[in-house]
Amino acid sequence: MRKLLILFLLVYMSCDNERIVQLPEIENATITQVNDVSAAYIFYDETQADSSLLNRKNLISTTNWLVNVDKRLLLYQVVDDITFLQNKKRNATVHKNEKARNYFTCNDISIKNLGFLDFTDVYYKQTDAAHNLRENENYNNHWILTCYTNKAFALHYPNEDFELTIDPNELTTSLNVVTDVIDLQKSKQILLQFEDAIAFQNYITIKNTLQQTKHPDLTIVSEEYLFH
């Protein structure tokens, strides 16, 4: 694993050009080791139109994919590349490994080593979640957790006049309160909605925190919505 740390903290050499990925930081990752891997990189590059540059030359379709995204990028700058990679694996017709997963590579500062977040089953929807809920009766009983670029959060239940503003400085505590609130309601499903200009670092922090505060009866919907 230490060799992986040297490999992914992260200097990528290609065609005599050196590129560095600043990995997002997390603490207490639930996944700290992944075997049989190949890697893709989404670099921060101000010379590009959207400041991001994807390199996927080393990916092998049958392996677990480690997607290394620079934490300085914003979610809207990387979501198209991430979706492209997901679809590439999902739509593979030959040399397909159904057990292979996709992970974001992170710097777990609590162990001074790598940690990983599984995003294999996530589907990104670039639309407004609340609007989608109003049109789709199948989602009427979902809670919506909205995450803003200023690190503020709001929990909303579309079918009732209920909205809870969450203290951005008390994310873990507040999310535990959220699960208590949800536990009192009929719905056990929560949908995530992100302002698309949120920093990738903040996105990863939220995702990691949600994993650590996961309620045994709470399901986080696989679709994640991005809005302007």
pLDDT at 86 (0 to 100): 98
> Which has the closest alpha carbon to 85: 116, 44, 49, 57?
57
Residue pair 105/4 in contact by the 8 Å Cβ criterion: no
Question: Looking at the 3D structure of the chain, how many domains does it have?
Answer: 2
Domain match, 186 and 219 both: yes
pLDDT at 137 (0 to 100): 60
- 55 lies in which domain range? 2-118
Domain match, 59 and 143 both: no
State which of 85, 118, 151 marks the end of a domain.
Answer: 118
Domain match, 141 and 206 both: yes
Domain match, 136 and 212 both: yes
The one-digit pLDDT tens for each residue of the chain (228 residues) are 444 444 444 444 444 467 899 999 999 999 999 999 999 999 999 999 889 999 999 999 999 999 999 999 999 999 999 999 999 999 988 888 999 999 999 999 999 999 999 999 999 998 876 666 666 665 667 888 899 998 888 888 777 667 778 776 676 676 666 666 666 666 778 889 999 999 999 999 999 988 887 667 778 899 999 998
pLDDT at 154 (0 to 100): 86
pLDDT at 219 (0 to 100): 83
- Using alpha carbons only, what angle is made at residue 195 by residues 210 and 59, rounded to the nearest 5 degrees? 70
State which of 118, 145, 168 marks the end of a domain.
Answer: 118
CATH of the domain at 133: 3.30.420.270
pLDDT at 7 (0 to 100): 46
pLDDT at 23 (0 to 100): 96
Residue pair 85/40 in contact by the 8 Å Cβ criterion: yes
Average pLDDT for the chain: 84
State which of 87, 103, 118 marks the end of a domain.
Answer: 118
Domain match, 114 and 127 both: no
Domain match, 29 and 104 both: yes
Domain match, 91 and 57 both: yes
By CB atoms closer than 10 A (0-12, 13-18, 19+), residue 38 is middle
Domain match, 102 and 135 both: no
Domain match, 7 and 113 both: yes
Domain match, 140 and 156 both: yes
Domain match, 132 and 193 both: yes
Question: Model pTM?
Answer: 0.88
Tokens encoding 193: 């909605």
pLDDT in tens, 38-80: 999 999 999 998 899 999 999 999 999 999 999 999 999 999 9
Domain match, 77 and 98 both: yes
pLDDT at 144 (0 to 100): 85
